[in-house]
Amino acid sequence: MLVLGLETSCDETAAAVVADDRRVLAQCVAGQDDDHRAYGGVVPEIAARAHVERLDGIIARVMAEAGIGFADLDGVAATAGPGLLGGVMVGLMTGKAIAAVHRLPLMAVNHLEGHALTARLTDRVSFPFLLLLISGGHCQLLAVEGVGRYRRFGTTIDDAAGEAFDKAAKLLGLGYPGGPAIEAAARDGDPRRFALPRPLLGRVGCDFSFSGLKTALVHVVAGFPAEPTEGDRRDLAAGFQAAVADVLADRATGAMARFRLEFPGADTFVVAGGVAANMALRDRLRAVTEAGGFRMVVPPPALCTDNAVMIAWAGIERLAAGLVDGLDASPRARWPLDPAAPFVGGGIGRA
Ligand code: KG4
Ligand code: ZN
């Protein structure tokens, strides 16, 4: 079974052809960092236009690389949300056009489900598993019980983890995108020089908060007598990253205890989303995972940040489960994985 996946929900234009035996026949991710750098964040209109300009060429390229024609496909999967609506429309409409012309089933995929199921492609993880989804727009802990079956344990009450990294990097003048810039700067920094808060640490529940940490960083920087030096920036980045690591580790520990009670016998902890590319955070999470008697699974960095392989794979899983969508499927800016979970704010727009 071969599925073409399309991803256009934020600032990556991506396409991939994936087989149900887990072979990635071809994939391509075109970033837009240069288009957005001057603004220090993703500009929705610029992103949508870039997707329109690039998507057709990228699809042609992956089809050629895979050595197949549209008639060889068994389905088309396109991200239908959550994300920036203009971009989502570009990918979903393109997917619908291919599905209609070639009479293929269409899978309108939740971008977050793409992140969530990647570990089943890379590591054959079985249900149920505990998931920490940390990306530019989301920071959630979920019990994943099956395809389309999610129960949220906790979420951010303000900023997403990646958003916090991006804002901190902007504040420290480290450039865009912020996550990799903070990680690089932190490598030679002293995480203990500045005392930064760890919001919600030790509190009951699995929710997150990062805005207080960001505000604390603003105050520390404002208190400098002169512009922070490069050394100061490295120490600030290291302090910030260590605080995020402590918060994630604390919240994940609580979630593991709850997961163990609800799913005795299951012991897999999956970390997914763009922020999972951060090696320092991975190390910290691995330590608490082992302490909690779980095993940690993290997809390789290129499959943690946005890509179309994860969308094609989620499409394969949905097709196999008979979860096919009609050509009337709508793009959705908001689309929680667990619709029963209460809305608590945070994570607007990006996924
Ligand atoms: O999943 P993703 O590619 O896009 C969304 O769906 O949001 O995640 C992007 C986010 C950005 O906020 C970026 O700064 C963050 O992931 N990120 C990182 C790292 N690489 C990407 N954060 C921390 N450390 C990294 N190495
Ligand atoms: Zn994402």
CA of 14 to the centre of ligand 1 (A): 16
Nearest CA to ligand 1 atom 6: 351
Pocket perturbation via mutation, ligand 1, pick of 139, 271, 275, 334 by most ligand atoms within 8 A of CB: 275
Nearest CA to ligand 1 atom 16: 274
- Cα separation, 138 vs 203, in Å, equals 20
CA of 351 to the centre of ligand 2 (A): 5
Any idea what the Cα angle at residue 43 is, between residues 171 and 339, rounded to 5°?
Answer: 95
Q: Which helix (H) or strand (E) holds 18?
A: strand 12-19
Domain covering 128-298: architecture? 2-Layer Sandwich (3.30)
For position 348, what pLDDT does the model report?
Answer: 42
For position 349, what pLDDT does the model report?
Answer: 38
With a 6 Å cutoff on the Cβ, whether 5 touches ligand 1 is no
Phi and psi torsions of 191, nearest 5°: -70, -10
With a 6 Å cutoff on the Cβ, whether 306 touches ligand 1 is yes
Nearest ligand to the C-alpha atom of residue 111: 2
For position 86, what pLDDT does the model report?
Answer: 96
Half-sphere exposure of 139 (CA within 13 A, CB side): 29
With a 6 Å cutoff on the Cβ, whether 278 touches ligand 1 is yes
What is the DSSP code string of 273-299?
SGGGG-HHHHHHHHHHHHHTT-EEE--
For position 178, what pLDDT does the model report?
Answer: 92
Q: Which helix (H) or strand (E) holds 145?
A: strand 139-146
H helix runs in the chain, sequence order? 33-36, 44-66, 85-102, 111-123, 161-171, 178-186, 211-222, 230-262, 279-291, 301-304, 309-320
With a 6 Å cutoff on the Cβ, whether 10 touches ligand 1 is yes
Nearest ligand to the C-alpha atom of residue 134: 1
Other beta carbons within 10 angstroms of residue 286's beta carbon come to 17
Nearest CA to ligand 1 atom 14: 179
Question: What residues pair up with 272 in beta bridges, in sequence order?
Answer: 133
CA of 275 to the centre of ligand 1 (A): 4
For position 351, what pLDDT does the model report?
Answer: 38
CA of 87 to the centre of ligand 2 (A): 13
Please tell me the pTM assigned to this model. 0.94
CA of 225 to the centre of ligand 2 (A): 38
For position 345, what pLDDT does the model report?
Answer: 61
Q: What are the residue ranges spanned by the domains of the chain? A: 2-117+302-320, 128-298
For position 84, what pLDDT does the model report?
Answer: 95
With a 6 Å cutoff on the Cβ, whether 11 touches ligand 1 is no
pLDDT tens digit at each of 351 positions of the chain: 999 999 999 999 999 999 999 999 999 999 988 888 888 778 899 999 999 999 999 999 999 999 999 999 999 999 999 999 999 999 999 999 999 999 999 999 999 999 999 999 999 999 999 999 999 989 999 999 999 999 999 999 999 999 999 999 999 999 888 999 999 999 999 999 999 999 999 999 999 999 999 999 999 999 999 999 999 999 999 999 999 999 999 999 999 999 999 999 999 999 999 999 999 999 999 999 999 999 999 999 999 999 999 999 999 999 999 999 999 999 999 999 999 998 776 544 343
CA of 146 to the centre of ligand 1 (A): 25
CA nearest to 297, candidates 129, 141, 144: 129
CA of 37 to the centre of ligand 2 (A): 19
For the domain 2-117+302-320, what is the CATH code? 3.30.420.40
Q: Do domains 2-117+302-320 and 128-298 have the same CATH topology?
A: yes
- Cα separation, 84 vs 88, in Å, equals 6
CB neighbour list of residue 77: distance below 8 Å, 6 or more residues apart? 3, 4, 5, 6, 95, 106, 107, 109, 311, 312, 314, 315, 316, 318, 319
With a 6 Å cutoff on the Cβ, whether 86 touches ligand 1 is no
With a 6 Å cutoff on the Cβ, whether 81 touches ligand 1 is no
For position 33, what pLDDT does the model report?
Answer: 85
Pocket perturbation via mutation, ligand 1, pick of 10, 11, 134, 165 by most ligand atoms within 8 A of CB: 165
For position 104, what pLDDT does the model report?
Answer: 98
CA of 169 to the centre of ligand 2 (A): 19
For position 350, what pLDDT does the model report?
Answer: 41
Nearest ligand to the C-alpha atom of residue 139: 1
